[in-house]
Amino acid sequence: MTENPLAEGLALRRTPDPCALVIFGASGDLTHKKIMPALYALAVRRLLPPQFAIVGVARTGDTDDDSFRKDMETAVKQHARDPFRQETWDELAPMLHYISTDFADAGGEDKLHDLLAELDEKEQLGGNRVFYLAVPPPAFPTIVEALGKRRDSAGWTRLVVEKPFGHDLESAKQLTATLLEYFREDEIFRIDHYLGKETVQNMLALRFANGIFEPIWNRQFVDHVQITVAESIGIEARAGYYEHAGAIRDIFQNHLLQLLALTAMEPPIDFTSDSVHNEKVKVLRALHTPGPKSVVRGQYGRGFVEGEEVAAYREEAGVAADSMTETYVSAKLYVDNWRWADTPFYVRMGKRLARHETTIAIQFKAAPHPPFEETASEGLRPNVLVVHVQPDEGVSLAIGAKVPGQGMTIRTVHMDFLYGGAFRTGMPEAYERLILDTMLGDSTLFTRADEVEEQWLLVDSIVAAWQRDQPAFPNYPAGSWGPPSADELLQRDGRAWRRH
């Protein structure tokens, strides 16, 4: 394979300390599809500590170490991004252990405590622990209390918590209080997997490592910002969760607002976790929407996605025939600070949209005196910088260029940077980076308690306004870009959503 010149001089990150990774909910989809494939990818790249143990904990009683290893091998073969290598698996498999227990029963924590003590002595793990809660939120208090009361190891302890972080502000505060009763804030790692994506992290590099962008990253040069988190899939047999959460709690409250915070934040004094979190919190505290008319919600009906007819949301298994759960949200938001005053941030997210994509588009103001308008071949458009988060990770800049030939004919063209083409390597999955950072004790790409609370403050105010009216659902067909009222949201300002 040809050497990649862009990879020259890249130093390997430090190896994590010896530790045990305990996965609660080891029989669930998250473990099979994300956690175990991520651990396998880290093993392929020799990024796991040499002294390491993985302990799966679940209520499945007919599973032992051997059957758990076989199950995880199947998961890796089906879901890992790397081709299966038997020699890598043969090194990883002996590290896997399994405990069948329910922490709601007395003595469940004793079985885990005894196994970890045994592994400490046998594998020289130093008492270091990562506890990963890949379980539904109602199980958190029982597990956290049991773990907190048996904290007698000599090493460090870290607790990984999957979203949702509460259902509203009050429940989020209660969850935080429960966690802080037994763990310090710097020991709690709230995972938002969007923050582990390479392109999201590259937003910081794009802004702060390039002298040409940061001077124009403000209200004087930026006309508006559009953030899109679009999914072509439906709820994928998650009706039990989705009916309770809806689009605003599933994506808007966490992923989307985190993307906005990274886009709008001030330069941190350094890239330590506290410095980055502090700047994001400032954005979230300054964030507001002008009023109920600046927020649109929708629910998909029957339609066609990629040429196939799909059912309406109310026809999905487990969904009520008269459900008022939203599957789409768009909003106009403002960040009330010196940098962004009066600059609108248009955000949207939804299920069963025209295609799968996540993008952050920064549209700059038009040139003050465009002498080429009469000769522009398709209407001279403003410069737009687009960060493609998924599926095709990269950055694109739209500029005006002269068409070859006589005369001064101008057309918009794109300068594109694609990660796969530039670095000639597969993009790491978000969970690989986040699990590794947890073991390293780096919480930069995780969410802090005050961030969560600020996000819920905005969402609670939006949901409260929704109680006063009941829209006519469904109001957009599957395979479209959402309800017509979402287009009107921008049209009132003389703008339009990006279509490509």
Instruction: Tell me, yes or no, if 255 is annotated catalytic.
Output: yes
d(CA 466, CA 87): 56
d(CA 348, CA 295): 10
Among 121, 65, 50, residue whose Cα is nearest residue 97: 65
Torsion angle in degrees (nearest 10) through CA of 304, 309, 311, 317: -130
Task: Provide CB contacts within 8 A for 166, sequence distance 6+.
Answer: 137, 172, 173, 174, 175, 452, 456
Exactly one of 255, 356, 414, 500 is catalytic; name it. 255
The answer to whether the beta carbons of residues 411 and 376 sit under 8 Å apart is yes
Tokens representing residue 31 in the block: 């473990």
Tokens representing residue 432 in the block: 């690989």
Cα angle value 389/393/394 (rounded, 5°): 100
Among 249, 126, 272, residue whose Cα is nearest residue 186: 272
Instruction: Using the structure block, give the residue that is written with the tokens 């004790």.
Output: 441
Among 57, 216, 230, residue whose Cα is nearest residue 147: 57
Q: Are strands 157-162 and 188-191 parallel, antiparallel or unpaired?
A: parallel
Among 493, 452, 166, residue whose Cα is nearest residue 330: 493
Phi (first) and psi of residue 130, to 5 degrees: -120, 120
End-to-end CA distance of the chain: 34
SS3 sequence of 431-497: HHHHHHHHHHCCCCCCECHHHHHHHHHHHHHHHHHHCCCCCCCCCEECCECCCHHHHHHHHCCCCCC
CB atoms within 10 A of CB 153: 17
Phi (first) and psi of residue 272, to 5 degrees: -75, 160
The answer to whether the beta carbons of residues 27 and 58 sit under 8 Å apart is yes
Among 426, 64, 466, residue whose Cα is nearest residue 299: 466
d(CA 32, CA 75): 5
Give me the amino acid identity at 315: E
User: What's 158's DSSP letter?
Assistant: E
Which residues are marked as active site? 255
